[in-house]
Structure 1
């Protein structure tokens, strides 16, 4: 048996009538892969935090446990929906910071968040759902190129509407790639026993960051003037490594040598065409990350971006 969460409601008064030291944070998509970490980081750093949810008593026990964990940590739950403009505006009016962590199927729907932010008129920072490579610098193929185009187009919408923002370019989730030592053919299978697949020559540099760190960096900069209307790059030098370097580190620790199988780009492209969702997106992103080095093959322009650890 499990119980529905005991709801801790935010006051629905606008923020300017409140005396708060920390900015109020609203997370949309808080139950998602990175959203859960952002909620936890926001609460940990002392922000009054709320999560937009469709229902207070879902039938899924895992979802109920998640909602209860949020409430027990001091977060609040606001009932609302991305497709219910009135509820969205009502929730956003309570917040200083609006963070979207919606999944790939809802990226285009973030224009609804922009419309609600414009109507609410009180948001001082918006963080759209990116949390990956810099979408304006990727050179990949479909289906990832279409997803990145949606994110890039949404950047232009935010800028055209004059919404204060920070784009988070955290690059690659370490939890996704490191357990297989960067072998995208074996994600979820653990370290390779004897043979490893390398996309391209293995020399392109990728960037790996753990989700807890991504969330912490995100929350530390939402009130930082240096990141306003800029791209936050998470690209600490020690986290920038090639696939060959990853393999070498693993071989030294494991005390054995792996057989390397290199896939040329034409084989990667064929593989992407034959794959289905979500593997096809993962592979097309991997082409950009591991074969073309799109996460590290440019210098950060201080006029448009800042590096998180600096």
Structure 2
């Protein structure tokens, strides 16, 4: 690609998508955001899109119910990044990407596609608990379609978003850190990778023109953010000058808690189990099929979790 690649973000008003748009603009990429008619009367998303436009992004009308509009949007760019959420009850969004893949195939000009992943690596989650396994299986269906279509790709495994996992000291059902009592999963020593969401976006955009990441998985594992739950709690205790009461939840008690939960909650509990009891984010070595982001881009000054937690004081 000559110069900075042109980028289309699908799902640009979402939790990660809005950050991807800003990171793309900050890196000087001509940035296009799919303006879906399904947005309807969601004024906050409309205003966000207009804000992107004022910052220099181009809005492109398109809809998954209008295939030609997707093809036309894809033809404008070199790189397509999809950030449509696949969390819990919205997992059907993952398979909507199959239409996007068809549009990319028909357009024939895309040099890199980044599908909506940004969490655990689904290729390593073949034994995931039900019903959370559905999300991983659908992501693997999308990967299969990409690779069978010979579309150049980069997959991004971003691990745990700090807003959901660090700011609350990994407590389910709350997004603020406790100041008196908290739950520890098992021995609390499984290593977890916590990522500031803006850093996720920065590393993602860094990867899109990099030949080292072509047809590979980029794992976001900055070393200072590989922490156990207990280490994370200790950082918070030091900040507030107080030790918290800790209640340990055994593996079996944690799994037993799933039976009375609804579907979305069961998915969340399953993911927490794999992260905090099995250590699924750190119990493997990155092979030839992957690259680690902080090694590729040492110039990125990523946010450490003690810095991140300061906003909660």
TM-score (norm 2): 0.88
Tell me how far apart the structure 2 counterparts of residues 74 and 124 of structure 1 sit (CA, whole Å).
22
1:1-310 mapped onto 2 (5 Å cutoff): 21-55=3-37, 58-104=40-86, 105=90, 106-138=93-125, 139-184=127-172, 186-188=173-175, 190-301=176-287, 303-310=288-295
Give 3-state SS (helix, strand or coil) of 2:280's partner: coil
1:252-287 Cα distance to aligned partner (Å, 9 max, x none)? 222221121111222222323322354332222111
- 8 Å contact kept, 2:192–2:276: yes
Structure 1 runs (4+) deviating above 3 angstroms are 55-58
Deviations 1:69-122 (CA, angstroms, capped at 9, x unpaired): 011000011111123211000110111000011121310121111111110000
Evaluate the alpha carbon distance shift between residue 252 and residue 229 of structure 1 in structure 2; reply closer, same or farther with a 3 A threshold.
same
Does the 8 Å CA contact 1:49/1:76 hold for their aligned counterparts? Answer: yes
Q: Which 5+ residue runs of structure 1 have no aligned equivalent? A: 1-15
Partner deviation per Cα, 1:118-144 (whole Å, 9 max, x = no partner)? 100000000000000111113531222
CA contact (8 A) 2:123 2:140 kept: yes
Q: Distance in 1 between matches of 2:266 and 2:85?
A: 16
CA distance in 2, matches of 1:160, 1:226: 21
> Given the superposition, is the C-alpha separation of residues 180 and 77 from structure 1 closer, same or farther in structure 2, using an over 3 Å criterion?
same
Q: Number of residues paired by the alignment?
A: 289
User: Which deviates more, 205-214 or 82-91?
Assistant: 82-91
The normalised TM-score by structure 1 is 0.89
Aligned-residue RMSD, C-alpha: 1.7
| Kept in 1: contact 2:8–2:74 (CA 8 A) | yes
* In structure 2, C-alpha distance between the alignment counterparts of 1:32 and 1:217, rounded to whole Å: 18
For 1:226 and 1:97, how far apart are their aligned partners in 2?
Answer: 16
Which whole-Å deviations, capped at 9, do the CAs of 1:194-219 have from their partners, x for residues lacking one?
Answer: 21112222111100011110001000
User: Which has the larger share of helix?
Assistant: 2
Q: Give the Cα separation in 2 of the matches to 1:55 and 1:109.
A: 15
Is the 2:186–2:250 contact (alpha carbons within 8 Å) kept by the matching residues of 1? Answer: yes
CA spacing shift, 1:275–1:158, aligned 2, 3 Å: same
Gaps of 5+ in 2: 296-313
Q: Distance in 1 between matches of 2:41 and 2:138?
A: 32
SS of 1:295's equivalent?
A: coil
C-alpha separation in 2, matches of 1:255 and 1:272: 34
Question: What is the distance in 1 between the residues matched to 2:260 and 2:11?
Answer: 30
- Judge which range, 74-83 or 215-224, deviates more: 74-83
Q: Which residue of 2 aligns with 1:6?
A: none
